[in-house]
Amino acid sequence: MITSKEFKEAQRRALRYLKKASVVLTEDEKMNIDVIDYDLGDLAHIGLEVVTYVSTERYCAKELVLFPRQICPEHRHADTEGEPGKEETFRCRWGIVYLYIPGKPTPKPHCTLPKHKEKYFTTRHEITLKPGQQHTLPPNTLHWFQAGDEGAVVSEFSSEAVGEKDVFTDPDIWKTGKRLTKIVDA
């Protein structure tokens, strides 16, 4: 959970990063940037800021903003009701993003993990994405990603996105089963 002040500041900061990436948004999109802390209350380390352009039963397009060293935690998009999970393509627009997937562990990865959460990041094969580079993940692939030292903006193109059905390695994430960030005023 975060305060409303932290939420608004994260939205403003995300807008600055999107501007660096030359992403043009409507006023409505600017006002509706999602700030996701995964129910952990540690947005500086584990979290994500998201602009959703479209999300239907067939496809989804988003901009993902990561502040310096911010992490989208390890998860997979599970198969549900006989249908394959989400297939997604990440395309780096600005900054550097390190994507971690199953495979041979990278000997000297660029990641920096919070010590108390290290055990929840099990995939260690690193793929570095710089502006203009992209990688597609098949459904049900365990993955996580972290921005480099400057932060990053990543476009996501995918099949249907049903965040509530994502399966996270960290059992503390979304204990409530809801993706919404809890906002509390101090």
Superfamily of domain 4-168: Jelly Rolls (2.60.120.10)
Give the Cβ contact number of residue 92 at 10 Å: 24
**Mean per-residue pLDDT, 150-174:** 87
Q: What percent of the chain shows pLDDT beyond 90?
A: 75
User: What are the boundaries of each domain within the chain?
Assistant: 4-168
> Given this model, what pLDDT does residue 92 score?
98
- Residue found by looking up tokens 């807008």 in the block: 15
Q: E strands, 11-137, where?
A: 34-36, 48-55, 60-66, 71-77, 88-101, 125-129, 134-137
- Residue 79: predicted pLDDT: 83
CA distance 141 to 181: 25
- What pLDDT is stored for residue 35 in this prediction? 96
pLDDT at position 159 is 81
184 closest CA partner among 41, 54, 2: 2
For the CA atoms of the chain, what is the radius of gyration?
A: 15
Label residue 82 exposed, middle or buried (CB < 10 Å: 0-12, 13-18, 19+): exposed
Q: Range with the lowest mean pLDDT among 14-23, 113-122, 174-183?
A: 174-183
| Bridge partners of residue 25, in order along the sequence | none
Sequence-separated (6 or more) residues with CB below 8 Å from residue 170: 38, 73, 74, 117, 120
Q: What is the pLDDT of residue 7?
A: 94
User: Which band of pLDDT confidence, cut at 50, 70 and 90, is reported for residue 72?
Assistant: very high
| pLDDT over 90 (residue 165) | no
